[in-house]
Structure 1
Amino acid sequence: MKIYFETYGCALNKGDTYSMMTLLKESKHEIVDDQNSAEVLVINTCAVRMETEEKMKKRIAELSRTGKKLIVAGCLAGAEPGLVSSLSPNASVIGPQSIGDIVKAVESPGKLISLDGEAPSNLPKIFEGLISVLPIADGCAGSCNFCITKLARKTLRSYTPRKIVETVREMIKRGAKEIELTGQDTAAYGLDMGGMGLADLVREVSSLDGDFMIRVGMMTPELALRQLDQLLEAWDNPKVYKFFHLPVQSGSDETLKAMNRKYTVDEFRYLVKEIRKKFSPVNITTDIIVGHPGEDDDAFEETLNLMKEMRFERIHIAMYSLRPNTRSSMMKQVPGPVKKERLKRAVSLYEELSRDVHREYVGKRMRVLVLEKGKGDTVIGRTINYIPVILRNVKLGEWYDVRIDDSSFFDLRGTVV
């Protein structure tokens, strides 16, 4: 059958789509790029925020009206299967921890609902371009009060090191220059298997032959702290980007308690200090939620002060979004206008700080790996600490020595020297 995919959300979702595509191709089905030529439509959904859910609901209804066989996968399917069925009564529903059942869903004559089914037996063999996304684990070990994803991905399930290394070797053979190891919390990798952790995995992957770089996805601060020495040792390899995505979420200990985050602000400070002591340059990227229940004016000011103090290379800032069936949704909410004003102030500060941080690169010479096409005749390269650099007249997949000529709050601009 001809099958069309639409994917929304995080890198893990993208990896899940590649896994489903792999399983279907192994069963002799065809993946097509055009919705109109497809016999089966698969939408891999995201549910992390309220506005995202509204977008998913609208799109599910549109796809349902085509009259074609529809499969709704991903986090909205796993967290709110009843909602999905109300939007499209005939659609099959595949939770994110049941993607191994995608072939059954496609080949089933009727509707299939699988929320706690099979994990794929193998990792994806479908990759796009020079950047390959590889899930190393599904689920997490945390229980954050604001998170709906935990309802969809209930159980931590790590892939074996052997499968991961075999898949990375194939990615490199097929031309991948960046391997993105992704998961809901990469620092939780291996907790369900015992013995082997994220640092061990990174060491194994970075020992493979080939010209490639490894980028590791988000880590929760509490689990990164537990294995900090091992992580620093594993990252001390020329094939590993000096990039750490460590979501602090708030600069207030009281707000972190309300979120059920398992670290203090001082512990987070220590974590960042030790990483920066080991590596320079290094990219500390973080996430911040403004307006979570329990965040008063003083707590918000503490978050702004932490942003000024830490001078993060990148911050993903989001206004708290009430998600159904989460503990945070049952708490007293911060008024909408207050949340919007805080978001505006936080984003403004971030842009100001980021301009200052990036300005410090101007005039420096850096080694840059070119990976993506940009707008017009530009391409996008990455420094060793994963800062994007806009270049012209260079080839994709190559390393260049670059002089940084200019910067913005989002990226750097350079010339090959």
Structure 2
Amino acid sequence: MKVYIETYGCALNKGDTYIMMTLLKDKNHEIVSSPKDADVLVLNTCDVRLETGERMKKRITQLNKLGKKLIVAGCFAGAEPGVVSKIAPNASIIGPQALGKIIDATEAKNRVIFLESDAPNHTPRIFMNKIGIIPIADGCAGDCNFCITKLARKKLRSYPLRAIIDTIKDLVSKGAVEIELTGQDAAAYGLDYGGKVKLSDVIREASKVDGNFMLRIGMMTPEQAMRNIDDLIDTFKDPKVYKFFHLPVQSGDDNVLKIMNRKYTVDEYRNLVKEIRKKIPNANITTDIIVGHPGEDENAFKNTLDLIKEIRFEKLHIAIYSLRPNTKSSLMQQIPDSVKTERMKIINSLYEEIARENHSEYLGKVSKVIITENGKDNSKIGRTINYIPVIVQNAEIGKWYNVRINNFSFYDLRGDIV
């Protein structure tokens, strides 16, 4: 059958799509690039925010009107299957922890629903733009009060280490120059194996794979990163690993963190960053901030601003808190939208100011850059060893270059090949 897949959301969702594509191709189904050419439509959904959920509802409605077989997969399907059924009563549903059922759903004559399945054994053998995305763990060990993804990916399930390494070898042999090891919480890897294997073991084994490629490690919750921080930092020192740490703090205020049900204090987070920077001075510390979560008063917001000023994050992912159904935070007293919007403006302005100052330090200097993807107007996009994007001209994907930085924005660097 001809199958069209449309994907929304994070790197883990993209990795899930590559797994589904791999399974479909193994059964001789054809992946097509347009809904009009397809027999089956697969929508791999996200549900992380209110506006995202509304967008998913709209897209389900649009695809359902095409009158073709529709499969709704991903986090929206897993967290809100009843809503999917109401919008598209004939659509099949596959939760994000039931990827292996994509063949059953594609080939079934009638509607089917799979919200969970066996432990994950399927890995992707497909990638795009020279960047391979490999899920290493599904689900997390946390229970944050604001998070709907936990409802969609209920259980922490780590992929077998050998399967991950074999997949890296396969993708690198096919030309991938960047491998993203992703998960809902990469640092929770192996907890479901009794802690006998950890993220550091995955990185160490992955670094031994032959080939010209770089490893990018996905988001890690601070409490799980702390669990094995010395060994983890040692693995990040390998030349094949980007010095990139995505550690979402969410708030710079201890009381708000407690309300969120996060499992660390601001001081513990601060010490984690200090330890990383002490041992890897050029480390890129990227974080997530939720603005306007219940309990965030003016003093708590100020504490978050102060933490940003102190740590001077390389990158911030900032989101206004939005209510998600069936989460504890949605039942709490809410902060007015006008207050959240004003705080968002303040924090965005601070982020851009700090990011520009951080990037200005590269001006006139030469950085080693690996080219990983195509940019706009025939440009190429590369990454420094600490994962800052660099825009260059006349470069070849997969090659390393020495680039003299001659311009910058708060988001990226620009330069000429030396």
Give the secondary-structure state (helix, strand or coil) at the position aligned to 1:238.
coil
CA contact (8 A) 2:120 2:157 kept: no
Per-residue CA deviation, residues 120-172 of structure 1 (Å, 9 max, x unaligned), is 53211111121100000100000000000000000011011100000000011
2:75 corresponds to 1:39? no
Aligned-partner Cα distance in 2 for 1:60–1:119: 28
AA of the residue aligned to 1:294: G
Matched with 2:78 is 78
Q: After the TM superposition, which segments of 4 or more aligned residues of structure 1 sit over 6 Å from their partners? A: none
Q: Does the 8 Å contact 1:285/1:312 carry over to 2?
A: yes
Q: RMSD value over aligned CA atoms?
A: 0.8
One-letter code aligned to 2:400: W
Distance, in Å, in 1 between the alignment partners of 2:259 and 2:289 is: 14
Question: 2:297, 2:2 → 1: CA distance?
Answer: 53
Find the counterpart in structure 2 of residue 91 from structure 1: 91
Unaligned runs of 5+ in 2: none
| Corresponding pairs, count | 417
> 1:202-231: per-residue Cα shift (whole Å, max 9, x none)?
000001111110000000000101110011
Is residue 2:376 matched to residue 1:375?
yes
Structure 1 residue 347 corresponds to structure 2 residue 348? yes
Match of 1:274 in 2: 275
Q: Which residue of 2 aligns with 1:25?
A: 25
Answering whether residue 236 of structure 2 is matched by residue 235 of structure 1, we say yes
Residue segments in structure 1 that go unaligned for 5+ positions in a row: none
Cα deviation, residue 361, structure 1: 1.0
Distance, in Å, in 1 between the alignment partners of 2:264 and 2:125 is 37
Residue identity opposite 1:413 in structure 2: R
1:114 correspondence with 2:118? no
Q: How does 1:348-363 map to 2 (within 5 A)?
A: 348-363=349-364
| Correspondences of 1:11-410 after superposition (within 5 Å) | 11-194=11-194, 195-410=196-411
Q: Are the aligned partners of 1:99 and 1:119 in contact in 2 as well (CA < 8 Å)?
A: no
In 2 relative to 1, CA 119–7 (structure 1 residues): closer, same or farther, beyond 3 Å? farther
TM-score of the superposed pair, with normalisation by structure 2: 0.99
SS of residue in 2 equivalent to 1:325 = coil
Secondary structure of the corresponding residue to residue 145 of structure 1: coil
Contact 1:242–1:283 under 8 Å retained in 2: yes
Q: Deviations over 1:238-278 (max 9, x none)?
A: 00000000000000000000000000000000000111111
Q: Letter of the aligned partner of 1:90 in structure 2?
A: N
Percentage identity across paired residues of the two chains: 63
Equivalent-residue separation in structure 2 for 1:389 and 1:95 (angstroms): 37
Give the TM-score of the pair, scaled to structure 1: 0.99
Q: 1:19–1:120: 8 Å Cα contact kept in structure 2?
A: no
Partner deviation per Cα, 1:325-366 (whole Å, 9 max, x = no partner): 000001111111111111111111101111111101112111
Structure-1 separation of matches of 2:243 and 2:174: 24
Is the CA contact (8 Å cut-off) linking 2:212 and 2:398 kept in structure 1?
A: no
Alpha-carbon separation, structure 2, partners of 1:119 and 1:40:
26
Superposed CA offset, 1:178-199 (max 9, x none): 0000000000001111311000
Whether contact under 8 Å (1:100, 1:119) holds in the other structure is: no
**Contact 1:97 1:115 survives alignment (8 Å):** yes
In structure 2, distance between residues paired with 1:366 and 1:52: 37
For residues 319 and 127 of structure 1, what CA distance do their matches in structure 2 show?
Answer: 32
Aligned residue type for 1:123: T
User: Which one-letter code corresponds to 1:364 in the other structure?
Assistant: K
